[in-house]
Amino acid sequence: GNSVTQMEGPVTLSEEAFLTINCTYTATGYPSLFWYVQYPGEGLQLLLKATKADDKGSNKGFEATYRKETTSFHLEKGSVQVSDSAVYFCALGPNNNDMRFGAGTRLTVKP
Amino acid sequence: EPEVTQTPSHQVTQMGQEVILRCVPISNHLYFYWYRQILGQKVEFLVSFYNNEISEKSEIFDDQFSVERPDGSNFTLKIRSTKLEDSAMYFCASRSVGLAFGTQYFGPGTRLTVL
């Protein structure tokens, strides 16, 4: 079945550091891939998405490229800020209906 | 920008009681979902709903759960007899067809605490 494996956290970085959060997936067919962000005390917000191979999703300085050959969708940002501290979820779907989420990676950015 | 809303933001209940969690999806969306997130764990799919019926449900969505679209705007999740392990954040989501196909928009969640 469809599933997502995400690097475990927590991840702690200094401001302006480079961020990578790894995400790999297993899927049948051609799913869409997503990154959602959850800020403290809030719900899930769509950060970016890619709907087909080689697509790059980007938003707020974050990027992720849908790589079919490596079944990956790693999240990157060149220079993180304190305000980026949150939990990041990689997700896949929907082929049928349900979205499959990774376990989430907690990012803490220190000034 | 339209958004999914959920009420209440926090619900506290006693074990064995019934709770109803409410969601107002984005108005032109046709697919509706419930997910839950037990504290510190991953977000898990519960159920999807389309054309006034359940289209898919997970193994978590057993007989104590039900969903309903009682009118043209609300989408509810009922838990008939709550257990301690139902304590979680419950997220509603909705999506449309067409250009936004595949993107589910999530509400802010309802934190359910079962005592």
Integer Cα distance of B24 and B115 in angstroms: 27
pLDDT averaged over every residue in chain A: 91
Q: Do A43 and B35 touch (CB under 8 A)?
A: no
Distance of alpha carbon A106 from alpha carbon B79, whole angstroms: 30
DSSP bridge partners of A34 = A49, A91
- A40 confidence band (pLDDT: 50, 70, 90): confident
pLDDT of residue A110: 96
A87: its two tokens? 């939990």
Burial grade of A107 (CB within 10 A; 0-12, 13-18, 19 or more): buried
Beta bridge partners of residue B54, listed in sequence order: B49
More confident residue, A11 or B73: A11
Cα separation, A90 vs A88, in Å, equals 7
Query: What residue has token string 């509400």?
Result: B107
For all residues of chain B together, what is the average pLDDT? 90
How sure is the predictor about B66, in pLDDT bands with cuts at 50, 70 and 90? very high
B30/A contact by beta carbon, under 8 A: no
Q: pLDDT value at position A96?
A: 52
In this predicted structure, the answer to whether residue B91 has a pLDDT above a threshold of 60 is yes
The minimal CB distance from A99 to the residues B6, B104, B109 is found for: B104
Pairing of strands B10-13, B110-114: parallel
- At residue A95, the pLDDT reads 55
Mean per-residue pLDDT for B32-37?
A: 94
Q: Is the peptide bond before A94 cis (omega within 30 degrees of 0)?
A: yes
Q: Which residue in chain B has the smallest CA separation from A49?
A: B103
Distances (CA, A) of B44 to A51, A89, A106, B22, B101: 21, 12, 17, 18, 20
> Are the beta carbons of A105 and A7 closer than 8 angstroms?
yes
A chain contacts of residue B109, beta-carbon cutoff 8 Å: 42-44
- pLDDT cut 90: percent of chain A above it: 69
Please state the rounded mean pLDDT for residues B42-49: 91
> Is B88 strand, coil or helix?
strand
| Angle of CA points B68, B19, B4, to nearest 5° | 55
* Distance separating alpha carbons of residues B68 and B52, to the nearest angstrom: 8
End-to-end CA distance of chain B: 37
Asked whether residue B58 carries a pLDDT value surpassing 70, the answer given is yes
Q: What is the CA radius of gyration of chain B?
A: 13
Indicate if the pLDDT at residue A102 is higher than 50. yes
pLDDT of residue B115: 96
Q: Give the Cα separation of A106 and A10 in Å (integer).
A: 5
The predicted pLDDT at position B100 comes to: 46
